[in-house]
Structure formats: C-alpha cells, structure tokens
Chains A and B, each alone.
Chain A
Amino acid sequence: MEKKKATKPTTPNNSESNIWSQRSTTTSFICITLFAILVRIAVSIHPYSGAGTPPKYGDYEAQRHWMEITLNLPVKEWYRNSTVNDLKYWGLDYPPLTAYQSYIHGLFLRYFDPQSVKLYTSRGYESYIGKLLMRWTVLLSDVLIFFPAVIYFVIVYYSGVHEGSKSGMMWHFAMILLNPCLILIDHGHFQYNCISLGLTVAAVSAILSDRDVVGSILFTLALNHKQMSAYFAPAFFGYLFGKCLRRQNPFLEVLKLGLAVLGTFIVLWWPYLYSLEAPLEVLLRLAPFERGIYEDYVANFWCTTSVIVKWKRLFSTQALRILSLVSTVSTCLPSMMLLILAPSRRNFLLGLLSSALSFYFFSFQVHEKSILLPLLPASFLAIDEPLIFRWLTYFALLSTFPLLRRDDLILPYIALYGLFVLLYNAPAQREDTRETRSRFTTLKYFLITCSLLLHIVYLMVAPPRRYPFLFEAVMMLLCFSQFFFIFMYTNMKQWEFFKISSQTVREKKNI
C-alpha cells in the first residue's frame, strides 16, 4: 500500500501540478523511507542467528563479543590472542573500521545494559532488552548510513534526466532500499552489511557525480569495514583509472586518488602502525586461509564443481589459494579492461556487478551471504536491466534460504519474498520500468516454478539418508547456473558498450 504513493506521480496530470512535484517527491521519499524502516523493525522481532544455542551461538554473539572486546581492551590487544581475548571464540576478523564501529555500539549497549558487554562474563549473554538494543544498533547504522547513501544515489542517478523519465525514480528507490536479502541478513540473521554496502553506495554516487576523491575515500572506508568490499575494487579501479586517463593530466589525477586512498588507510590503521608486525598481525586475522576454499553449500564455482572435482582432496590449501587468486583475477580482468577503455557511467555499474560476481565465484572462502555484494549493483541497474535485477534477487534469496531456515527466519523470508514480488510488479508502474516480453518466458516460468518447488521440498521432505545434503546441492546448482548466466550477460553487455564507444571515437576522428 505504501509504495502506492511512489507510483502516484506517474499519473498523467503531472504538467499542471508541476509546482507540487518537488513537494510530492519529498513526501514520497519520506513514505518509502518510513515503510522501509517499518519492514526492518518488523523483521527484527524475529530470532537472530544462534539464538539460544550454546556454546558457540552465532553471528549475533560474534558481534556482541566484538563490542565486549573493543570496549574493554586497549586497541592494540583487539586482534591479539590473550587470556581475555580468546581468538578461537569469535575473534575479531574484520578490518579496523568494524572494530571501531563495535566500540561505538559497545558504548551504546553499555549505557543501557552494562551487563551485556562485561568482559568475559557476558559471553552468550541473551536477554529481551539485550536483543532490542543490538537490533537498534543495526537499525541505526542502516538508517544513518545506508539510507542517506541510497537517497544520494537516487538523486545523482536521476539528476540531469528529464522530467518524463523521473517516474521510475521512486520505484527504483524502493527497490534498492527494500532489498529482501539485505534486510533478512542484517535485521534477521544479524550482521552490519548495511554499513559497508552503504559506504559503497555513497562511493558509487560520489563517483557518478564526479567527486572522485570523495568516492575513493568512501570506498576505502567500505573496504576497511569489510574486506569483502574488495569484490568491487576492480570496477572502482578500472572506472577511475579510465576516467583519469581521459583528463588533461592523468598522472596528477591518479596521484590525487592514490594519496586519498593511502591517507584514509593510514588514518584507519594508525593504532597498528607503531611497528611492522602489528599491521601484519591484523592482516593475518582478516584472511581465514585455514578455513578451506569453501564451506557449506555456496553457489560459487569451487563448491559447485566440487560435485565432480574434489578440489580439497586434489590440491593443498596453498595451491588452492593460488588457483583461486589466478582465476579470480583472470575472470574480472576483462571487465576491468573494458572499463578502462570505455569508462561510462552505465558501464561502471555493469562492471561493479560483473567483478562482484567473479569474486563471488572464484575467491577463497566465500560465504553465501556474500551474494549481497553482487546484488547491490544489480539493484542500481533495476531500471536499465529489470530482468537481471529480478532474476538475481530471486536466486540470491534461494541461495540464502538454507541459512535463513537454520536461523528460524522462514516467516520473514516468505513475507519479504512476497513483498519484493509485489513491489516489483507495482500496478501503476510506467511502461519503461517493465520488462520486455522475451522468447524465454516459458523457460523463466519453469525456473521460477523449480525454485519455488525447491523451497517447499526443502521444508517438507526429509532428504534421502545417503545424501543428506541433496536439496542444498540442487539449490546450489540451480543458483550457480543462474548467477553464471548473469555474469556472462553483464560481460557481454560491457563488451557492447565498449564497441559502441570505440565506434563513436572513430566517427569523431573521421569527422
């Protein structure tokens, strides 16, 4: 119902109520924002990961534990094993910005519920008020970082676009803000992806509005919140580098950006720069090489192909590390090169998607939650490539389903799935935000039916005893195939852009 207002400005009599369009845009923004907060709050009353399951609990306990550690120990001790900081028990394994964020949230928790962050004694602390406070920290981070970033993105993306095409703006805004996977994982499962993703969104919008230095700083911040943000690094690098090359003084431009990145790094890592070993110690914590190339059933290349090739048995971890590095770099290289050669805005967004996907497929130790990273640029493309966005969302949801089922989040899963389908198909939507009917309609319906059936089978049917993870494997195969399609498609699209741009360059030269 709430999205309704978003589609309101689409009705034809816009010309006369032009004076009010500014005002109605603002109120639509407010309505969608409030609705998005409401959805998040409503999801947050459901269980979190590892609720009431000692001794290890889940991500919720991990985050709480980090607050406890950062709050009670000096900065230098945060990443170091000691009697009070047992790194085996949810040791901090994210970059410093996550640690600082935990510290701030820890202060918030200590103010209202000191028990919940007491050193050592608070392990496994769970209470009604504790859960509420923790949920509030996520919500506040989301509203203070992700929301403004998305508003910034939408404003930048639609600035300069003429009035008529602005109708899809509210729909687009809602689509990015109400991404079901992000809400389920942050406010249901319990994580702070909204911070690193929010910083990425802000970085993308800054770069789209030609504030490259600001963009680089923001992206560095994102990278320092979660190292997974590196999934986007090739696209950022390619686009910025390509842009710099087309300026008057390329070397100076690159230097400017490099200094901005370096400066941000130095500021964030300052507490660990007192010796050479200290930052290395932290870096080692960030790279979980001991955990094997894949875990559980992730719809990436290694895990999917392991059905046929037993990677873990065939190669040593050392070899696998190199293998995964080489394959990741080689698969994201084409997209990056194309970006350097044809740095256009749309190409940049496509590049973000394809590089995130290649990291998702080939990098070491990928978690199923990492699908959030490719999903973000896909939501940027919701207007240009509605089908890609919808498809990726459906299968991203499916790929996280086993995880969310373990967390007992089936109710919100169903609700958000439904909400996404409904909002995506808002009735008063303009024609230009609708998909074209393609020849693959039957295939699409078939795949969607398969995915829905898989959900039901996974919930209802006990797997055969010989293959206890049969359904997970089938889901993984299905998701991987779809993700791979999208990956190929985005690369192809980038190639097309490149061809177009080189053509125009040639034409210009001819003139």
Chain B
Amino acid sequence: MKLPKNHHNQTQIPKPKPNKPITEILWVSLIAICIKFLLIPAYHSTDFEVHRNWLAITHSLPLSQWYSDQTSPWTLDYPPLFAHFEHFLSFFASLVDPTMVHIHHGLNYKSQPTILFQRLSVIVSEFVLVFGIYRLTRNLGYKERVLIWVLVISSPGLMIVDHLHFQYNGFLLGVLLISLSALEEGKDLLGGFVFAVLLCFKHLFAVAAPVYFVYLLRHYCRGGLIKGFGRLVIMGSAVVAVFAAAYGPFLYHGQIQQVFHRMFPFGRGLCHAYWAPNFWVFYIILDKVLAFLLVKMGFNVQAPIASFTGGLVGDSSPFAVLPRVTPMITFGIVLLAIAPCLIKAWRDPQPRMITRWIAYAYTCGFMFGWHVHEKASLHFVIPLAIIALKSAEDAKHYFYLSIVSCYSLFPLLFEAQEYPIKVLLLLLHASLMWSGFFSHFSANASTKAAGSEQTRYDKTRFIVGWFGKLYLLGLLAVEIYGQFVHPILFAERLPFLPLMLISIYCAFGMMYSWIWQLRRIIKLH
C-alpha cells in the first residue's frame, strides 16, 4: 500500500513462470485441502467408527490379539500393514485424546478432537497420492500436468468416499500410483516391491496381481535363461520379504489362520447391500424377468428364499431361473476377462501400456467380482485419469466414466445436508473436465490440423456425441426421479427402487467402459 505501482504497460509479454512442478502440485492439492478441511464436520459413515476401533485395537492390544479381538463388531479385516498403519496413527491419536484409543471406553466415541484427528489423518495420508501423481506426471507439459492433477485431486469420488464417507483410499491409491510410476519408468523391481506392499495394505488390490505377474515376468525377467532366472529370484525374494515382514509376526504367534479368516469373510453375498453397478446387476434383473415371464406362461417357478446380498443360506440359490453363482465362478470369469490383457502383456510388455492394463484389470474385478463395493470403482477411475490425455478418445471415455462412477457413489451420502455438496462436487468436476479436455484437444487439433484433411481434424477433437449427451441426461432423469418423482408416487414405499435404478443405469455406463477399455487394449500396439 505504500508504493503506487505503475508498471502496467511494461509487462505485456506473458512470461512462463519458472515454478517447479512440485510447488504447483502442492498449490493444487492445498486448495483441495482447504475444501476437505471445511468438510470435517460433515456426515461420516460407520467406517469412521471402524477405523477408530482399529486405532483402539492396535493401540491397546498386543499384536497377537489384533485379529482375534471381538470387543466391537467392527473387527480388523484389512491386512497386517494396514493394521501397522493404524498402530502408527494411534500413537498420535493417544496424544490428542486418550479415550479415542481405549478399547472399551472408546466405543462409538465422537469427541471434537477425535473427529478432527481422524479427518486430518485422511487428509495428511493423501499426500502419498499427491506424491504418486507427481511422480507419474512430472515429465509432462505444464497444461497436461495441471489437468491431470485437477482430475485426480479434485476427484469427487475420492472426496465423497474418503473425506465424507470416511476411508483411506487416497493413501492406498497413492501407493498404487507410485508402483505404476516406477513401472512406467522401467524400475520394475521397485514397482513390484511397492505393489507387494500395497497388497499387504489392502488385499482387494490383488485383482491386478496377474497382470503384474505376467508383465514383470516378461519385462523384468528377460535377457536369457540365467539372467532371467536370476531376476525372477530377486523379484521373488523382494515380494516374499514384504509378505514375510507383514505376515511373519502373526505366523509366529499362531494367528495366521485367524488373519486369513478375517480378511476373507466367506458367507457374504454376491452383491453388496447397495448393488454395485456391475455385470451381476444385469444377471439378477434377467433372472427376475425370466421368472416373471415363465410364471406368466404357466410354468411353476419357485421364488427364491435366499437373497443375493446376504450370505449363502444353506444350499438354496438366490436365483429363480438362472444358475447360481459361486465365488469360484466369479473368480473364473474375472480371470477370463483379464486374459486378453494378459496375452498382450505376455507378447509385448511395454511400460507405457501398464497403467492401462492395471486399470483394466481392476475394471474386470469390479464388473465380475464377488461382493463388490461401489467404492471399488475408484481403483480404476483414478489410474485412468493418468492416461486420460493420451488421446481425445481416452478423454471422452474418461469423461463418461468418471461421471458415472461418481454418480454411482451418490447413495453413500443420503442426508439432506450433504446433498448439495455431492451434486456440486460432481458438477464442478464435470465442468472442469469438460473445459480442460476441450481446450486441450482443440488447441492440439488446431496445431495438428494445419494442412491435414478435415477427417483427422475431427478425430483429435474432444466432442461429446449426441448419444453420450443422451446418456448423461438420463443420469439427470434418474436422479430427478429418485429425489422428487418417487417420493410423490410411492411416498415411503419401495425405498430400494431409486437405488436399484441408479445401479442399473450406472451399470450400463460401466459395461460400456469395460468394453471400450477391452477394445482399446486389443487395438493398441
């Protein structure tokens, strides 16, 4: 204020600032953190209590009892490294509020400091994700880099699941991205090692293990029989070391069976309480329709007793007409779905394709897996953001996918207070994406198209076709029905119908994404 500035007309030449990518990415993520910080008092699900209980278990009990404790129904069911992570957090938690980490007194404990601490632990641990994307994008151009950061860091899905619903996906996905960045740089050993670590944090990430295995076998363990075998041994011992470090202590205490029992709870149903929008939604609907038609035609069809969301009740099948699905069948289908990608990886293991392959593997796991959570769609949406700028088609696919995936997460937040938040998060993300992709690809197109023919000109441009627009408008219609029309028509009755509609409608989008990715992987060389 002391000095008038009068340099207005001197600086007309825009100089690109010599900012380092690391300060820029910090800037982007700090802005996101401000929003996350504001959302601290918002709704959180029972997962909040789950993680608080894990803090208490790991803090108050010796390692040998971590997986056998049953004080709370929210028992520890993540792999050991995650338990250690909670143990690490619980040290700070006990400084903030000792009641929080008390195994009995802490049950359903929700003091202000507890909420603040747990929320902040998610926010801070997400710096792993920031580091992950930083590693993956640091060699890109300024515009691409920033756009990808915005896609990942402002991802509404991550915001909804981690910072409202409460989970640590950002942290775990960060580990995955670090592994991917190592693979892309050709540091296979590091990539494999980090992936092994990730598996010991959350075993659901194991869906991509076959791809990792084939890729590392062909890319890392090459160069003749002896050298290849030597590398196989190195990689193998690295992975085994990670697993030994994680599971060894439990093996020592004779707890290993208990650990596996907790990690793989059999007896859950094919679908989660809210159906994740995947292939099985169609299967269930087809079954219902067939049963209905057969009954109409005069056949005697017995209505199933068991539900597909609950466990396997005795020997009865939850399906009336179609054959029953078991975990083994889903496992087989997932492997079959991944197979094309495995063949590709076997024939031509290329570092630049690995992110696409891994994302595809998680897509298959999501589409055909057993008891899939809707949150699992983040496992492939976030990695796909990294390659969204590879071509206009990729960008278009990502545009649909991330909107559908985020919308399918909407039922997680069902209270009135959070309604505008989730809607705004999605709208903001969609408009940022649209404007980013649009300007990126139109700038690209106009530079490339100088002199070339019209057809190529259009292919490199980001355009949302009429069919896509129609589909997205359909999302709006589904939402309006669920929010406004359904309460008028049915009042309190049929509360599952709007949710079912969301599942079915999003399942179409997910199916499209799966097929698109599959075709893309087969076509690309």
Contacts and interface: CB of A to CB of B under 8 A. Distances in A.
A387 B1 contact: yes
Interface stretch (B214-222, B349-357, B440-448): B440-448
Nearest to A430: B14
A440 B439 contact: no
Interface stretch (B99-107, B193-201, B425-433): B425-433
B378 interface: no
Interface string B487-500: 00000000000000
Given A31-B431, A39-B38, A485-B1, A431 B11 contact: yes
Contacts of A423: 31
Nearest to B430: A34
B137 to A, nearest CB: 14
B421 interface: yes
A37 interface: yes
Interface residues of B, number: 57
A30 B438 CA distance: 14
Contacts of A485: 1-2
Interface string A45-63: 1100000000000000000
B394 interface: no
A436 B7 CA distance: 8
Interface in A434-464: 435-436, 438-440
Interface string A312-337: 00000000000000000000000000
Contact of B424 (A16, A41, A129, A425): A41
B39 A42 contact: yes
Contacts of B434: 27
A447 B441 CA distance: 46
A428 B23 CA distance: 11
A80 interface: no
A1 B154 CA distance: 7
A110 interface: no
A22 interface: no
Nearest to A429: B17
Contacts, number: 163
A28 B12 CA distance: 22
B443 A411 contact: no
Contacts of B425: 38
A12 interface: yes
B435 interface: yes
A401 B53 CA distance: 36
B95 interface: no
B56 interface: no
A276 B267 CA distance: 82
B30 interface: yes
Nearest to B33: A418
Contacts of A429: 17
Given A28-B435, A34-B428, A436-B7, A489 B2 contact: yes
A31 B428 contact: yes
B143 interface: yes
A440 B149 CA distance: 36
A24 B435 contact: yes
Contacts of A259: none
Interface stretch (A2-10, A301-309, A501-509): A2-10
Nearest to B428: A34
Contact of A3 (B7, B19, B31, B442): B31
A391 interface: yes
Contacts of B289: none
B34 A418 contact: yes
A27 B11 contact: no
A96 B453 CA distance: 66
Given A2-B432, A428-B17, A42 B28 contact: no
B245 interface: no
Nearest to A3: B31
A8 B443 CA distance: 12
A249 interface: no
Interface in B31-72: 31-35, 37-42
B301 to A, nearest CB: 45
A38 B421 contact: yes
Contacts of B296: none
A17 B17 contact: no
Nearest to A43: B38
A45 B5 contact: no
A333 B343 CA distance: 83
A411 B14 contact: no
A412 interface: yes
Contacts of A416: 34, 38
Instruction: Determine which residue in B27, B143, B447 has the highest number of CB atoms from chain A within 10 A of its CB, and name it.
Output: B27
Interface in B313-368: none
B35 A39 contact: yes
Nearest to A435: B5
Contact of A427 (B8, B23, B442): B23
B16 interface: yes
Contacts of A34: 424, 427-428, 431
A422 B34 contact: yes
A144 interface: no
Given A385-B1, A435-B5, 9 more contacts: A1-B31, A13-B443, A30-B431, A45-B42, A128-B416, A167-B14, A387-B3, A427-B17, A489-B2
Q: Name the 8 nearest CB pairs between A and B, nearest first.
A: A27-B435, A42-B38, A431-B11, A419-B34, A415-B37, A438-B3, A34-B428, A38-B424
Interface of B: 1-5, 7-8, 11-12, 14-17, 19, 23-24, 27-35, 37-42, 142-143, 146, 149-150, 153-154, 416-417, 420-421, 424-425, 427-428, 431-432, 434-436, 438-439, 442-443, 446-447
11 contacts: A2-B150, A4-B146, A13-B443, A34-B424, A42-B42, A167-B14, A418-B37, A423-B31, A430-B11, A432-B11, A496-B4
Interface of A: 1-5, 8, 10-13, 16-17, 20, 23-24, 27-28, 30-31, 34-35, 37-39, 41-43, 45-46, 128-129, 132, 164, 167, 385-388, 391, 411-412, 414-416, 418-419, 422-423, 425-432, 435-436, 438-440, 485-486, 489, 493, 496
